[in-house]
Structure 1
């Protein structure tokens, strides 16, 4: 949510909710921070360039070609700000640029000149400028603090203070203090931000999303998951919002594309911004995931998508409006089900429990450790018993606003009303209203981009029915207090609120409610009233979650510290959306008995899948024509006698690595990472060379599609091939 301007006083919306050294666990496992490249064993693994060519503080390296693009990774591939990332990373921007008449999602988009490029709404770019360890400053602020809430608040306050100080020194950067190890290490990152991003070349959906959800998280794969966008800045080089006079950004570094690609067993590495991993957590954390969060979320998202599919079945505009939400849900849903399968297959809970038992024995065997950590494992167990007791309530409260869009709109409107109500005079209230109303309308409009009344009614009914059935410590008081006699009454209650509210139409909201401060303050409906009751419950539970977060912060800091002593080594920190490097080899694997999955797929496989009746395996006729005529150009892989489509490798990746450049031993771009195999969805919790495989689109397929199918030869020329 944005903040409201109060003539210089910002009013935030109150919504809840020295160098570091790490050594590798194994030669090819790990998401290495930039400071640890000299410990990664890159040269021994096969790197042909100097490690300083990748990262050398104060000088230009390959890392300067990397960008974080709205939750994904991308890389500059020309000196004119051209960026390659994944099709699914640009998906939401393509959706917002599409109309039933100009359906760029379905038909793709090719801009043959700068003037033809289209604004990529919602996409922003961040470039890592520098970083420094600030652990001592953060932890010093809580050195003598035992109260969990006070501890977590002071840590948050110190992190924000350090970031604000860095931004004051250099107003051109955005600073963030990232928690590398929970409760233990903190790093200040400085980022350059680019706000003007434009669509350049987007393949059509039956290329960029070939195989759809059928193939998602699956190998063999045949997906052209790539897109090209461009970064723009103001004429003076500063960051600026979208404007006609802006010019292409000139990066310090861009990657050289190697159209010859790679072979099996070749050394490869990835630079990117992996999201979050949780490998340094105790047994109980894995139990929570397996018993509560993963099955609940997967099942809820499955239900939501069925409702959205129904709503868009016979309405193209609705289908487009809901496309991004459906895609994100489906991706998470299949990922979580893959995690569940992986957790059960390798019985990670048992192996984690054995690790923790051994750690407990080790603590007991050392008097100094017993004094400092003697109650640690017992305290962790007590902590998670509390978490398990009301896990269902937590999940319901954490999902109610994102599930029921109109409740989110009501939350925003009520917050704005509360700010207006603080003014005693009508004139002051109207002045405040006029100062903020345009921003309010823009923010609210975003909520309605993926809103559909019938979808909200059906999903809201599901959520309220579930809430009605939660009992004991998991009771949802705002629902129980209504004294419904059965589930159906709870379901009907929310659907009737949605039907009756003027919030169910953006036009009605703007015309009848947001037209003046008097209209807004005077408007009442039961949906707004219920949201206030719900918000009170959310806030109360949020306070308890904050207390638990503070408690966990201390417990996990101690847990990692004593594990380091026990294992006589430091750890690579869990991924946290900061820039990392991982490396490995182009390599197949054996997911089940008597099978071997080769590390390359080809265009022939696209045609074979296309023989299926599954509409997700439809592909452009031009692909078949080009393949039959063997119009492979320079992109053929001779030993395959075909163009390679996707590649498989044993690098350590997770969410956020989508769009990461795959580079060869010389630092040349040979592919774009986009997925993991189904068995490797468990990477967030554990990594194993036997089953952890990631998937990328081979650069030869990207170039072949651009050249032979989409007539986007300008892309190839701009990249200097």
Structure 2
């Protein structure tokens, strides 16, 4: 879709009366907004095409080939809606399409015709259509309030209003207001959404996930983390739900694939939708991450995965059902542990504390700044000291429904039950029930797809035992009120009640409870009761958290504003899932003394890792045979008699950049981004050229696997190679 700029140019963001300007050394930290590419130094860094070939308002550019694939990035690589992204970005859709009889996750999937392509359930495609700065609309709306809760309510209301107005003017788009700088700058994005997405070519699991969790967030890598999807629309070209009558979408632009790849030190750049970074936050925010969020979440995810792996050990259907949950948990767990390692290694808290102290001194030394921001740094500290007092309680509640899926089910049932009970006569109750039951069942179906009662009992017992041991302001009162004698008793209580509940089996719930309004209202058990108790306890706490969010919103807006004055420069906004560009070079690094990591791996490394006998390093026999036969075709790496697999570069990426196209100096596709090195997991908080390295699968490996291993030559032909 063509990108248009309306009213003010995006990211000409205002601080008082002055526009923020972005600039960068080469290479530098930064995920650049499109409107600022002319200030990024791309030509000096090595770009051979015009910056306007990438992005030019009102004209077609490379950005028109970019898509957001649910939480990932991707790009069109043919005029018929063919999209390349990561294997792990399509993982959940492949899992949902699989069964013990047709295990596409394990065996891969190749569709040699449009008719053979199958629905990628759960995946949607979003294409950035246009955007505009709406900071003034939102900041004017909150100008007259000092109440933190009211501030957040007004912001949310105004955002919703702007979205509604945009969508009413153009029903074909979906709008979203993104906060660029917290409490300070806001941009209205308009997207075209494609709901009919299909699986085209998915490599088998021992290619797409080669190395498993052993190699996750690690270099050297040998993972074929790629997949091909196709976008479909109705015959009139409009977005539509899955239908056999739909036709392949024809994008405004698709990327040219360069099968020759790149070499060490070559200039490269990425376009994509990076998730969230938090680089413009004070020392206390980093302290919260290091002391509370990162260790708690990684340990809980580890425990959950162990229980789910046990549940699927001897049951292929259960293993498949839990596969996506396990993969997501494992990815977050290793990422968070990498962040913890990085935070400790570079002592980022101490560095931030020095920066904040210098900033505080600067404020106090300037009369005008002191009058406006005199209490800013102490107010920030006061806010976080309060956050620290009940951080464990907040984290426990945040994971209640995602951790204990029976409670997620109970929450849905109780909401339906409460609303049904409000109706007057039985006939009115049944009318409400019948009107809403299909939607509730749709939500329940999504939960039950990855639900296992044995795993849920053990996870619940673990979380209840955790809660039993919380003290002071972290006490979970609902659990304390039950007067358990020990943590084990708390765990046994919840495990037994899950076993006794009709919520633990979809069929039992649907057939015995959700028949009609009367059967719903007649059913009660300890899970439903305790879920309501948790909800009542959390309501005032959630109100307090909203108040704190309002306080932080104002504080962070001021923090960035005064920091810009102090450093006499402006900042690139933190990533927030909006379209950005980052650039750099194919480049290795030294993670430790006397160690140098080269920027390319080859098929030889797959064979070597396979010799270890580790289950994570299984690979198809066809790869070894092709390697022994030196059947490399035109896909070799210069200077080697081998095929390159993965590559390393010093670009600034984060979550959401998965699936982003890696392009050469001419804007040609030469790889697909999928990960970062372990030391670079800290990118979310800080970026450094010496250790921040990202990882992509080399396009030559993608083509070699398609050509020599999977007999998917149609992909190569469709991409025009």
TM-score (norm 2): 0.97
* Corresponding position of 1:147: 147
Q: Secondary structure at the match of 1:314?
A: coil
| Residues 1:636 and 2:636 are matched in the alignment | yes
* Corresponding position of 2:559: 559
CA distance in 1 between partners of 2:407 and 2:433 (Å): 22
* Corresponding position of 2:431: 431
Q: Secondary structure at the match of 1:635?
A: coil
Note if contact 2:602-2:645 (Cα within 8 Å) is conserved in structure 1.
Answer: yes
Q: Output aligned runs, 1:8-27, within 5 Å.
A: 18=8, 19-20=12-13, 21-27=20-26
Q: Output aligned runs, 1:657-672, within 5 Å.
A: 657-672=657-672
Note if contact 2:31-2:582 (Cα within 8 Å) is conserved in structure 1.
Answer: yes
Note if contact 1:674-1:697 (Cα within 8 Å) is conserved in structure 2.
Answer: yes
* Corresponding position of 2:16: none
* Corresponding position of 1:695: 695
Deviation at 1:426, TM superposition (A): 1.2
Note if contact 2:24-2:39 (Cα within 8 Å) is conserved in structure 1.
Answer: no
* Corresponding position of 2:323: 323
Give deviations 1:614-646, integer Å, cap 9, x for gaps: 010010000000011110001112312211000
CA distance in 1 between partners of 2:297 and 2:460 (Å): 15
Q: Secondary structure at the match of 2:230?
A: strand
Q: Secondary structure at the match of 1:306?
A: helix
CA distance in 2 between partners of 1:458 and 1:22 (Å): 53
* Corresponding position of 1:188: 188
CA distance in 1 between partners of 2:141 and 2:417 (Å): 37
Deviation at 1:715, TM superposition (A): 0.2
| Residues 1:473 and 2:490 are matched in the alignment | no
Give deviations 1:67-92, integer Å, cap 9, x for gaps: 11110001000011100000000000
* Corresponding position of 2:220: 220
Q: Output aligned runs, 1:357-506, within 5 Å.
A: 357-506=357-506
Give deviations 1:399-434, integer Å, cap 9, x for gaps: 111000010000001001111112101111211211
| Residues 1:616 and 2:616 are matched in the alignment | yes
Q: Output aligned runs, 1:508-587, within 5 Å.
A: 508-587=508-587
Deviation at 1:22, TM superposition (A): 3.5
* Corresponding position of 2:308: 308
Note if contact 2:176-2:190 (Cα within 8 Å) is conserved in structure 1.
Answer: yes
* Corresponding position of 1:650: 650
* Corresponding position of 1:55: 55
CA distance in 1 between partners of 2:436 and 2:382 (Å): 47
* Corresponding position of 1:9: none
CA distance in 2 between partners of 1:216 and 1:41 (Å): 33
CA distance in 1 between partners of 2:36 and 2:506 (Å): 51
Give deviations 1:182-211, integer Å, cap 9, x for gaps: 000000000000001000000000000000
CA distance in 1 between partners of 2:33 and 2:537 (Å): 40
CA distance in 1 between partners of 2:25 and 2:680 (Å): 17
* Corresponding position of 1:31: 31
CA distance in 1 between partners of 2:35 and 2:576 (Å): 15
Deviation at 1:441, TM superposition (A): 1.2
Q: Secondary structure at the match of 1:613?
A: coil
Note if contact 2:24-2:40 (Cα within 8 Å) is conserved in structure 1.
Answer: no
* Corresponding position of 1:6: none
CA distance in 2 between partners of 1:711 and 1:359 (Å): 60
CA distance in 1 between partners of 2:375 and 2:640 (Å): 60
Deviation at 1:171, TM superposition (A): 0.5
Deviation at 1:24, TM superposition (A): 3.2
Q: Secondary structure at the match of 2:263?
A: coil
Deviation at 1:23, TM superposition (A): 1.6
Q: Secondary structure at the match of 1:645?
A: strand
Q: Secondary structure at the match of 2:49?
A: coil
Q: Secondary structure at the match of 2:130?
A: strand
Q: Output aligned runs, 1:171-250, within 5 Å.
A: 171-250=171-250
* Corresponding position of 2:168: 168
Deviation at 1:25, TM superposition (A): 4.9
| Residues 1:709 and 2:721 are matched in the alignment | no
Q: Output aligned runs, 1:110-121, within 5 Å.
A: 110-121=110-121
CA distance in 2 between partners of 1:255 and 1:573 (Å): 27
CA distance in 2 between partners of 1:700 and 1:459 (Å): 43
* Corresponding position of 2:124: 124
Deviation at 1:525, TM superposition (A): 1.1
After the TM superposition, list the runs of 4 or more consecutive aligned residues in structure 1 that deviate by more than 4 angstroms: none
Q: Secondary structure at the match of 2:399?
A: helix
After superposition, the CA RMSD in angstroms is 0.7
Q: Secondary structure at the match of 1:582?
A: strand
CA distance in 1 between partners of 2:465 and 2:86 (Å): 38
* Corresponding position of 1:79: 79
* Corresponding position of 1:598: 598
Note if contact 2:433-2:517 (Cα within 8 Å) is conserved in structure 1.
Answer: yes
Note if contact 1:75-1:254 (Cα within 8 Å) is conserved in structure 2.
Answer: yes
CA distance in 1 between partners of 2:371 and 2:24 (Å): 28
Give deviations 1:671-711, integer Å, cap 9, x for gaps: 00000000000000000000000000000000000000000
| Residues 1:282 and 2:282 are matched in the alignment | yes
* Corresponding position of 2:5: none
CA distance in 1 between partners of 2:57 and 2:175 (Å): 18
Note if contact 1:24-1:30 (Cα within 8 Å) is conserved in structure 2.
Answer: no
Give deviations 1:303-341, integer Å, cap 9, x for gaps: 111001100000000000000000000000000000000
Q: Secondary structure at the match of 2:634?
A: helix
CA distance in 2 between partners of 1:128 and 1:269 (Å): 19
Note if contact 1:25-1:571 (Cα within 8 Å) is conserved in structure 2.
Answer: no
Give deviations 1:572-609, integer Å, cap 9, x for gaps: 00000000000000000010001111100000000000
CA distance in 2 between partners of 1:169 and 1:537 (Å): 42
Note if contact 2:260-2:700 (Cα within 8 Å) is conserved in structure 1.
Answer: yes
CA distance in 1 between partners of 2:137 and 2:443 (Å): 36
CA distance in 1 between partners of 2:299 and 2:433 (Å): 42
Q: Secondary structure at the match of 1:101?
A: coil
* Corresponding position of 1:5: none
CA distance in 2 between partners of 1:488 and 1:155 (Å): 44
Structure 2: 5+ residue stretches without partners: 1-7, 14-19
Deviation at 1:386, TM superposition (A): 0.2
Give deviations 1:240-293, integer Å, cap 9, x for gaps: 111111111111110000000000000000000000000000000000000110
Deviation at 1:497, TM superposition (A): 1.1
Q: Secondary structure at the match of 2:583?
A: strand
**Range that drifts further, 514-523 or 582-591:** 514-523
* Corresponding position of 1:12: none
